[in-house]
Amino acid sequence: MTLYLSAQHVQKSYNGTVALQDVSLELGQGEILALLGPNGAGKTTFIKILATVLMKDRGQVQIFGYDLDQHAETIRHLFGYVGQDTERSAYARLTVVENLHFFGALRGLTKTQIRQQIEKLATYFDFHANLGKQFVHLSGGQKQTVVIMRALLHDPPLVYLDEPTKGLDPIIAKKIRTFLKKFVVEEDKSLLLTSHVLSEVDELADRVALMHRGTIPISGTSAELKAAVGATEFVEIEKDSLPPTTVEKILQLEPVICSLERSPRWLSFGVVDLMGGAEAVIRTLRQDKVQTGFRHHTVSLEDAFVHHIGELEERFDT
């Protein structure tokens, strides 16, 4: 696999506050890599550095073999970037076509090239019906689609997406993810996205880099990160009415292989066999005459995050 991006030991601070402590990752051709982390983990800062919007303090970044510090202007022609400020990413009173022609011309594209790209992208995103509408009259999902189309106009081999479906209706968000996945696969592009939405990462990403306090401690496929937890299911019990002695008994049960604290209210016990594990836990609760809330869930990326990182300061969106 051809390496498109290599970042090694990237650091960034704002007025003495560390945003990126030590970030390293690699992205290859035809790959979708997701940076998964809670708000404040450093995802946006890192992607802005890669997009030449911010300057790093230390570290090395190479994109298509070009050094980020020495060849920023060359690199800017090789990627597309979608930030979080959708409303200010296009001119409100211009139509979609007018916006795309304007930004295409800024990229140095000819009118013919722009028309061809608009046609191709409108087909991918099923967007022909909206091309003549003013940007201000589009829905949130339609505006985000226009911004993504703008980033793809010059046909870049690498695309950065910072929270691409943030604030969107779940149905529209899923539609955008579906189109992006199709586009990357059929056009052999590489995509780096930031997200704190578990379903988005699971659906889109070939690999996931877990980001925490300005570092990336581990990365892998979603399946690999989940498998490392050791459990396939989690039995969850409300903590308020759960005595410590009962917790110790549950932890000693044969079906129970681990425990995680994913939230202040619930204690999660990992099991390989849901039926056997749930029966054993319920039996222990009855023996100790404990009445408490009970639920279960399949192992998730959030569980993987807690397992690998050791803590979760903010819940992920699902």
Q: Could you tell me if residue 147 is inside a domain?
A: yes
Residues 178 and 204 in one domain: yes
CATH code for the domain of 293: 3.30.70.1150
* Nearest partner of 212 among 299, 314, 300, judged by Cα: 314
What's the pLDDT score for residue 314? 67
| Domain end among 220, 248, 266 | 220
Residues 157 and 237 in one domain: no
Domain count, the chain: 2
Residues 260 and 126 in one domain: no
Residues 234 and 216 in one domain: no
For 246-278, write each residue's pLDDT tens digit. 999 999 999 999 988 877 889 999 998 999 999
Q: Could you tell me if residue 306 is inside a domain?
A: no
Residues 250 and 291 in one domain: yes
Residues 239 and 208 in one domain: no
For 166-181, write each residue's pLDDT tens digit. 888 888 888 889 988 9
For 189-230, write each residue's pLDDT tens digit. 999 999 888 888 998 999 999 999 999 999 999 999 999 999
What's the pLDDT score for residue 234? 94
- Global pTM reads 0.88
Inter-CA distances, 49 with 76, 86, 146, 195, 235, Å? 12, 19, 23, 17, 41
HEC readout, the chain: CCEEEEEEEEEEEECCEEEEEEEEEEEECCCEEEEECCCCCCHHHHHHHHCCCCCCCEEEEEECCEECCCCHHHHHCCEEEECCCHHHCCCCCCEHHHHHHHHHHHCCCCHHHHHHHHHHHHHHCCCHHHCCCEHHHCCHHHHHHHHHHHHHCCCCCEEEEECCCCCCCHHHHHHHHHHHHHHHHHHCCEEEEEECEHHHHHHHCCEEEEEECCEEEEEECHHHHHHCCCCCEEEEEECCCCCHHHHHHHHCCCCEEEEECCCCCEEEEEECCHHHHHHHHHHHHHHCCCCCCEEEEECCHHHHHHHHHCCCCCCCEC
Kindly report the CA angle at 96 between 94 and 99, in degrees rounded to 5? 60
Q: Could you tell me if residue 317 is inside a domain?
A: no
Residues 154 and 248 in one domain: no
More confidently predicted of 262 and 104: 104
Residues 27 and 125 in one domain: yes
What's the pLDDT score for residue 89? 92
What's the pLDDT score for residue 172? 84
What's the pLDDT score for residue 306? 87
Residues 98 and 169 in one domain: yes
For 54-86, write each residue's pLDDT tens digit. 999 999 999 999 999 999 999 999 999 999 888
* Average pLDDT over all residues of the chain: 92
For 131-157, write each residue's pLDDT tens digit. 999 999 999 999 999 999 999 999 999
* Nearest partner of 83 among 154, 26, 166, judged by Cα: 166
- Measured CA to CA, the distance from residue 163 to residue 225 in angstroms comes to 21
> Once rounded to an integer, what is the mean pLDDT over residues 35-44?
90
68, 149 Cβ separation under 8 angstroms: no
For 294-305, write each residue's pLDDT tens digit. 899 999 998 898
Taken in order 41, 52, 96, 130, the sign of the CA dihedral is negative
Q: Could you tell me if residue 291 is inside a domain?
A: yes
Residues 178 and 239 in one domain: no
Q: Could you tell me if residue 270 is inside a domain?
A: yes
CATH code for the domain of 82: 3.40.50.300
> Once rounded to an integer, what is the mean pLDDT over residues 104-108?
95
Q: Could you tell me if residue 102 is inside a domain?
A: yes
Q: Could you tell me if residue 312 is inside a domain?
A: no
Residues 206 and 275 in one domain: no
Give the residue numbers spanning the domain of 31.
3-220
Residues 207 and 243 in one domain: no
Query: Tokens in use for 7?
Result: 């970042």
What's the pLDDT score for residue 310? 79
Q: Could you tell me if residue 195 is inside a domain?
A: yes
For 16-31, write each residue's pLDDT tens digit. 899 999 999 999 999 9
